[in-house]
Chain A
Amino acid sequence: MAKEILVGNTSDFEEGGKKIVPNGKSEIGVYLIKGEWFAYQNLCPHQGGPACEGLLMAKVEEIIHPEKKTYHGMRFNHDEMHIVCPWHGWEFRMEDGVACGDSAWKLRKYDVNIRGEKVYVLA
């Protein structure tokens, strides 16, 4: 049965903020992104890096002219944020934890419960 881990108060989090809490022999990273809560195991499925301790980066997109198919640089798409593992740079979608480079790989996801001011993860 899943246990609840107290992460802290909602007021501890700024928009785009995160907190890493211990969970047995590992940790869980809890994020507040545009009003939504997300939680993932701090363990990259690639080689075991502390994925949640890396940067948050927006998705990179190429700017391709729709008719001419020509390339016109790159931009960040802030609607899709990525968790970036600091060991090798593997990127994972915040929405579901799936690896951008290969959907066969993903971070372990946890549910987040908000009760009053308190933030909990179910681990």
Chain B
Amino acid sequence: MELPTSNIHKQAIASFDTSTLLRNAARQRDARGYNQFPIIDVDCHHYENESIQEIVRYIDDEVLSQMGQLYTSGGTGGQAPFGVAGVGYQDIAGRVTRYPLRKTETTPADEQHRDIHLSLKWMDAMGVDYVCLFPTPMLSLGLHPQPEVEGALAKAYNRWLLENITAKEKRIKTMMYVPFGDPDAAYETVKEFGHHRDVIGFMICSVQYNSVHNNAYMKTYSLMEELGKPLGFHGNYNWNDRLVGNSNRFLVTHALGFTVYNAVHLCNWVINGLPERFPNLKTIWIESGLAWIPWVMQRLDNDYKMRWSEAPSLKGLPSDYMRQMFYTSQPMEVPNRLDVLEMTFSLINAKEQLLWSSDYPHWDMDVPSVIYDLPFLTEIQKHRILGGNAIELFGLDVSDRFPGYENSQLGVES
């Protein structure tokens, strides 16, 4: 395959292999001894659109199912009833080569799904033991103008994922896609799938315009709390957004979009006192990096002190509640002044609340060394952030790869 570059130098690629691409990650794995402790990736992805013909067969509604089968088998010319991902070029016009080349990668022709083969390849290269797998284009499905389509496709995807991926590979778990655009469907999703062994939590796509404090969602949060599994909000961009999409460069809409949607939901979650209403429901803010958290903490605390009467359910500062929330690390901003990052870690109590994530195979992925090589962390803190915190939060059983492992051995350093 030949990738077009800047015309003078076209680059011919004989073949593409994830293990080869990540050879340097494997070297880091071996040099740092990642096999000595569990590494959990709380946010990684597959391209469920590549299996969409399989997924639409799981749609209950026979009319939507027929529509899905038609459009996923060739369609009628450029239109897609389920696609809302919109404009974007995350791969920087082919510079991140795994995007244009991924379809050329071969996997064994056996009973295992291709997505399992591909996932295990990069997991093994990085030294990752278990992952929480999320979809890719479906992260924009919260923008779909037909809530019933979001509900139907979410249910179909959830069923397909549990039957074809997580049931076949113990190292792959998921936080179930919750169709937030339809409050009743959201509740039914949690009810139907919440008890499942491979469902370690629930995921709301942050790019949507529904309010997390709407009364319609309270029964769903209650059920999640009862099930004892956390709720994650997964960031994304939306170039069609009138505000955060108001840029001619993907860089801007990405940098803002992935943080601002989560910032809005987090602010509403805290100021409406939802942590007080659901004290045992743990929340995770996924794929927004870390730099936004000190900003929101300071803004909310400052306004809260002046406008206490608007947040009367709170029993402490907004930042106190935020410090009890969980955050995934990627894409972790690494400023040249490392003391800025160290201060952020301190503000969010990272040693207990931070969860490493790779976001692989997406363009701004992080390898485990982004945490492991930080000079201000102790060895125990590195182990907690790379795996221990997630094992505790999700109650993960890691005994098949680490027999006799006790998370409590990590303790918590002051």
Contacts and interface: CB of A to CB of B under 8 A. Distances in A.
Nearest to A86: B97
B98 interface: yes
Nearest to B91: A89
B24 A57 contact: no
Interface residues of A, number: 25
A84 B336 CA distance: 21
Contact of A48 (B3, B28, B95): B28
A53 B364 CA distance: 18
B96 A58 contact: no
Given A48-B24, A48-B25, A87 B96 contact: yes
B336 A102 contact: yes
B369 interface: yes
B332 to A, nearest CB: 10
A33 to B, nearest CB: 9
B96 A56 contact: no
Contacts of A56: 5-6, 9, 11
Contacts of A48: 24-25, 27-28, 367, 369
Interface residues of B, number: 28
Contact of A78 (B8, B24, B96, B98): B8
A43 B24 CA distance: 8
A74 to B, nearest CB: 11
Contact of A84 (B28, B95, B366, B370): B95
A122 interface: no
Contacts of B365: 87-88
B363 A55 contact: no
A86 B96 contact: yes
A91 B97 CA distance: 13
Interface in A82-121: 84, 86-89, 91, 102, 104
B28 A89 contact: no
A49 B24 contact: yes
Contact of B367 (A43, A47, A86): A47
Contacts of B21: 50, 53, 86-87
